[in-house]
Amino acid sequence: MQKGDLLYEGKAKRVYLTDDPTLYIVEYKDTATAFDGLKKEELTNKGVLNNSIAALFFLMLQGAGVPTHFIKKLNEREMLVKALQIIPMEVIVRNIAAGSLSKRLGLAEGAPLACTVLEFNLKNDELHDPMLNHYHIQALGLATPQEVARMEELALRINDLLRPFLEKRDIILVDFKLEFGRSQGEIFLGDEISPDTCRFWDAGSGEKLDKDRFRRDLGGVTDAYAEVLRRLQEVK
């Protein structure tokens, strides 16, 4: 497998072409960003940790029948993935009130939600990732109603798999962001699942084990990520 030209560089990852047009290489960077990139810092080995964490989550989900873009981990910073046509919107899955949901609805952070909440956001930093409803998605031509239904089905299935998996490791899954893409007419989970894209709280202390440590200047960001990886690697 030959690594080719840089296809895309985002805030946390680089995507490279390969000599197989159906496969890409994703490289995880050490860059931490928040607030649409206004806050930025290099954190040693953050990319290494996220690559390993995401690989473990993808393997677990694939084992349960969830279609993902993950093929294999190549080295400490890179993974081989299926080439997808990414749908330019985020699916947010919320189990507990936190972050923007708390602010928008006046809910206390940490308040359990009566049901899992799904939200859609347009991927656009300049517009600050505005929320979308089904009518917006259709009007913008982002996805068909059938694709939206499939993404919702997969998002809820992923949540149902991740919550007990993490609970066994004393981690509460507060909320998380998913991205999906198309390949040969099918929808696949893409991007990553990591402390960059999820809110993880320690089940005992409530300590934050995710990017909120960076957003809120709590310190110990990579230590928290390393703790998540350690718990994921535990056999339970």
pLDDT of residue 117: 98
Tokens found for residue 148: 């939206």
pLDDT of residue 168: 97
Distance of CA 161 to the CA centre of its chain: 15
Using CB atoms within 10 Å of the CB of residue 233, give its burial: 0 to 12 exposed, 13 to 18 middle, 19+ buried.
exposed
Q: Is the dihedral of CA 158, 159, 164, 168 positive or negative?
A: positive
CA–CA dist 178, 190 (Å, integer): 8
Would you write out the chain's pLDDT as a tens digit for each of its 236 residues?
799 999 999 999 999 999 999 999 999 999 999 887 778 999 999 999 999 999 999 999 999 999 999 999 999 999 999 999 999 999 999 999 999 999 999 999 999 999 999 999 999 989 999 999 999 999 999 999 999 999 999 999 999 999 999 999 999 999 999 999 999 999 999 999 999 999 999 999 999 999 999 999 999 999 999 999 999 998 66
Q: Is the dihedral of CA 209, 235, 155, 189 positive or negative?
A: positive
Structural domains in the chain, CATH included, are 3-82 (3.30.200.20), 85-220 (3.30.470.20)
**DSSP code string of 80-136:** EEE--EE-SEEEEEEEE--HHHHHHHTPPTTPEEEEEEEEEEE--GGGT--EE-HHH
Q: Which residues contact 235 (CB under 8 A, 6 or more apart)?
A: none
CA–CA dist 48, 27 (Å, integer): 9
pLDDT of residue 210: 98
pTM assigned to the model: 0.96
- 15 has which bridge partners? 8, 26
Residue type at 67?
P
Specify the DSSP element, H or E, that contains 175: strand 171-178
